[in-house]
Structure 1
């Protein structure tokens, strides 16, 4: 389980080596794993195979049981992905907790974010929180069954037809937006001599100081509003 968690964190999360080490030491060292497997309030499901007497574990999911069945960790061996293993684990959890609402806690550093995979099982984003691991705080997104987002994702400021940036007037596409933590981001179009879209307009504060990375994440430099990619993709399927 520790090796699978390590490989999964390395391949599917935008975490530093030190952060990965912190999580492994806090959650997956020998003592923590022993406590996890003995905890009567936590259930662990694994996908394994035994060949010639040798057992190989390919994936695992941990579920904290209370008024809700909360998925805490879901890790699949990167070499075993694409075979529906995570889907099978989620179906197993749903079968086990037929009468208990299911929720999930997802690290925001998951490269592809946390959306469509859980939405396919009827879970919806229900809030944001932080967890403390090894003295370091990690942002998490919460998903819950049968609940909607706490607040509507709507603009907090009027959306202009155009904005002036770098001395050029650039149109704001009011029909093309990405959801943000606080409010949507709207695409700012290029001018004639530019090949790509210029950037984004933050409808939380009205700023165009929005940075983007190769993973599809956006962050407003003025108010901190952010967008995470909507899919877990191959990291969990």
Structure 2
């Protein structure tokens, strides 16, 4: 899997991904979706987007095939950015591509010293809203986006304030550190990464947000299950992350 900057040559692939993604995610009419894709990614608008200095337009490829992309606008005056769209072709969903794209956006923004990321997703997209919540974002308001001439409500998410590290002593007497900013969605409550040092260099295991216990076992597929309460994390191979 490779994430790179989109180029003018990617226009047709981007349009196909956007159209198929919108069809799979929203109850919009075929005409509305087609008109929207043409409006947003026609020759002139697409070329402008990939050339803008204040836009991060990333595309992900799987075995050389474009399968998803993101659009993020950077606000220099606010030291922040808005992730406007994250689209993954429906044929490639459930493989963690959405999470990979999101992580790439965060990494690129950190390299640019952008400290704040807002996420925007249409309110009707339940999976998209859950995606941001699982990433530790909180809904802070609502906005409006025009799609094919009609207004639609979008939810605005902002990353929750960091809670930092919490030291914890294990049953064997070892001091470990729970990182509440390192979040993995669980079936009941999130799991948090646990490290053996405050610099987060060595992973110890996971903290269960449901019963407050520690677990240091993960199977080969990436599945975590709390032995105390049954809270579980899906295997990463079948991670149904947003798009």
2:85 equivalent in structure 1: 73
For residue 235 of structure 1, report the CA deviation from its aligned partner.
7.4
1:26 equivalent in structure 2: 39
Q: Is structure 2 residue 109 aligned with structure 1 residue 100?
A: no
Report 1:57-206 matches (<5 A): 57-66=66-75, 67=78, 68-98=80-110, 99-110=114-125, 112-146=126-160
Q: Is the 8 A contact 1:60 1:75 kept in 2?
A: yes
Partner SS, residue 115 of structure 1: helix
Tell me the TM-score normalised to structure 2 length: 0.55
Partner SS, residue 97 of structure 1: helix
Pair 12,132 (structure 1): closer, same or farther in 2 beyond 3 Å: closer
> How many equivalent pairs are there?
147
1:222 equivalent in structure 2: none
Greater alpha carbon shift after TM alignment, 13-22 vs 131-140: 131-140
2:10 equivalent in structure 1: none
CA distance in 2, matches of 1:120, 1:135: 32
Q: Is the 8 A contact 2:58 2:71 kept in 1?
A: yes
Q: Is structure 2 residue 54 aligned with structure 1 residue 41?
A: yes
Q: Is structure 2 residue 242 aligned with structure 1 residue 236?
A: yes
Greater alpha carbon shift after TM alignment, 112-121 vs 99-108: 112-121
What per-residue deviation string (whole Å, max 9, x for no partner) do you get for residues 154-210 of structure 1? Answer: xxxxxxxxxxxxxxxxxxxxxxxxxxxxxxxxxxxxxxxxxxxxxxxxxxxxxxxxx
CA distance in 1, matches of 2:17, 2:87: 7
CA distance in 2, matches of 1:29, 1:109: 25
Q: Is the 8 A contact 2:140 2:156 kept in 1?
A: yes
CA distance in 1, matches of 2:134, 2:58: 20
Partner SS, residue 119 of structure 1: helix
Tell me the TM-score normalised to structure 1 length: 0.57
CA distance in 1, matches of 2:41, 2:158: 25
Partner SS, residue 27 of structure 1: helix
Pair 32,235 (structure 1): closer, same or farther in 2 beyond 3 Å: farther
For residue 143 of structure 1, report the CA deviation from its aligned partner.
0.8
1:14 equivalent in structure 2: 27
Partner SS, residue 236 of structure 1: coil
For residue 123 of structure 1, report the CA deviation from its aligned partner.
1.3
CA distance in 1, matches of 2:19, 2:129: 22
User: Whose radius of gyration is greater, 1 or 2?
Assistant: 1
CA distance in 2, matches of 1:234, 1:73: 18
For residue 15 of structure 1, report the CA deviation from its aligned partner.
0.9
Give me the CA root mean square deviation: 2.0
